[in-house]
A and B are shown apart, each in its own frame.
Chain A
């Protein structure tokens, strides 16, 4: 059974003359344990799809199903245990006045875990931070360390589907390599399913098995990573995107 099923999804913002159709008729499925990439230029709707899945974009129509359960406008609590998201900018997605311990502890508390202390310790080890970072504040961390905290927070409820919205685009290349290695290891160890948004085709080529190319809110092509490596994209837009990134 597929982990994520998106069927004819439309997402829009605003009303009247300011209405913007961000996603138009997107359809794709992601199998359990697969890593799926979404690429396209800014404004193509790739992040909006992730936001619609996670419930952050309220205006949508069409069908979305996670692990066989259709999603409605109101998400049950179990949904947030299954699906978690890592955002693009670790400088903006962590509360500046909450320590790492508070960030992770609060998440664990909200998801109803009892052994919070032991779990915080384990989460920090899992993302390669260690205990000395536990009582630090975000301003005492580098960009890569912050993104590790954000990943630890997303892993806290033990999700099965991780939505990654440009997880490394705010980081240096050397740090990007560390975070991508971490994500590869976590997926292998925990059997996670990834949906990853990136504008960097080589990152998607490194991380994902299949990818969808988006343009102006529509998915123009879905291809395997082998097709990407061989530069055999069929749609003219995917070809131009490939040509621009090499």
Chain B
């Protein structure tokens, strides 16, 4: 398997009045043409890992790594200007919350058209047609009404599909999807995942899928990294997630309500401080 992205010993640090806080602590993994899932709770550093790859962590946050290499070139050595050519064109990111990543004072149509014309030379009419096509590709009904609408008029699910439509335009090599479907419901979730699945297969893209939903990741990804307190505690093949051994993974799996096994009370995760101390497991292949 050819390696698209190779991350070695990644640290993300935030200096604070109480000393330096390590959000990500020595994480290593590689990404091939596959669907790599990163799961964990909020605060486990999974989003920070995704953002650090694109150098989206603003000062005073510090990103340190032995290397983050994209197709053999180390991203750590690139200038801010060179990074701008990487973002969007080679590595795209779908953010968590469409409410904060869409411009509230521009119509959806204008935003997609702007994104399209940034990367392609096209007339307004062509761009409009392309934007409608993109919206339909992410199964939005009534695309013409959506083009006229402002982000606050959209539901969370619609907003996220609009974001994904915008990310598809430059045809990147790697897509980092940070909780892209948490705001969506099951039936739409499936559609969005199918769209991303098609991209990975057809265009040979690598996908980093960040999520807190274990079942979804088990279903959708090829390989899963489980993060806790900034470290990778376990790596497993997605189809073998139900056989995971680490008590943290087991605890997360057990706290889910299940339709086939009704219970009065759900199991609550009991945390062991030793989990945070154990060294990170390497996800390199």
Cα–Cα, bound, A163→B156 (Å): 20
**Which of chain A's residues has its CB closest to B185's CB?**
A199
Cα–Cα, bound, A200→B183 (Å): 11
Partner of B255, one of A40, A142, A177, A201: A177
- What residues of B have a CB within 8 angstroms of the CB of A177 in the complex? 255-257, 266-269
Closest Cβ–Cβ distance, residue B192 to chain A (whole Å): 12
Closest Cβ–Cβ distance, residue A24 to chain B (whole Å): 16
Closest Cβ–Cβ distance, residue A144 to chain B (whole Å): 10
Cα–Cα, bound, A184→B264 (Å): 8
**Is A173 a contact of B186 with CB atoms below 8 Å?**
no
Cα–Cα, bound, A173→B262 (Å): 17
**Is B259 a contact of A241 with CB atoms below 8 Å?**
no
Q: Check A42 for interface membership: any CB of B closer than 8 A.
A: yes
Once A181-B266, A229-B260 are accepted as A-B contacts, the answer to whether A173 and B255 lie under 8 Å apart by CB is yes
**Which of chain A's residues has its CB closest to B255's CB?**
A177
- What residues of B have a CB within 8 angstroms of the CB of A203 in the complex? 257
Q: Check A246 for interface membership: any CB of B closer than 8 A.
A: yes
User: B168-192 CB contact bits vs A (8 Å, 1 = yes)?
Assistant: 0000000000000011111111100
Q: Check A78 for interface membership: any CB of B closer than 8 A.
A: no
**Is A180 a contact of B157 with CB atoms below 8 Å?**
no
User: B196-236 CB contact bits vs A (8 Å, 1 = yes)?
Assistant: 00000000000000001110000000000000000000000
Once A199-B186, A244-B190 are accepted as A-B contacts, the answer to whether A205 and B255 lie under 8 Å apart by CB is no
Partner of A229, one of B182, B188, B262: B262
User: A131-168 CB contact bits vs B (8 Å, 1 = yes)?
Assistant: 00000000000110000000000000000000000000
Q: Check A72 for interface membership: any CB of B closer than 8 A.
A: no
Cα–Cα, bound, A16→B188 (Å): 28
Q: Check B242 for interface membership: any CB of A closer than 8 A.
A: no
Q: Check B58 for interface membership: any CB of A closer than 8 A.
A: no
Partner of A174, one of B183, B262, B269: B269
**7 A–B contact pairs at CB < 8 A?**
A41-B185, A41-B188, A172-B212, A180-B266, A203-B257, A229-B262, A244-B187
Minimum-distance CB pairs A-B, first 7: A199-B185, A206-B257, A42-B157, A177-B266, A177-B255, A174-B269, A172-B41
Interfacial residues, chain A to chain B (CB-CB below 8 A): 18, 40-43, 142-143, 169, 172-178, 180-181, 184, 199-203, 205-206, 225, 228-229, 240-241, 244-246
**Apart from A42-B156, A42-B188, what are 13 other A-B pairs with CB-CB below 8 Å?**
A41-B186, A41-B187, A42-B183, A42-B184, A143-B42, A172-B212, A173-B255, A174-B41, A177-B267, A202-B256, A203-B257, A241-B187, A246-B259
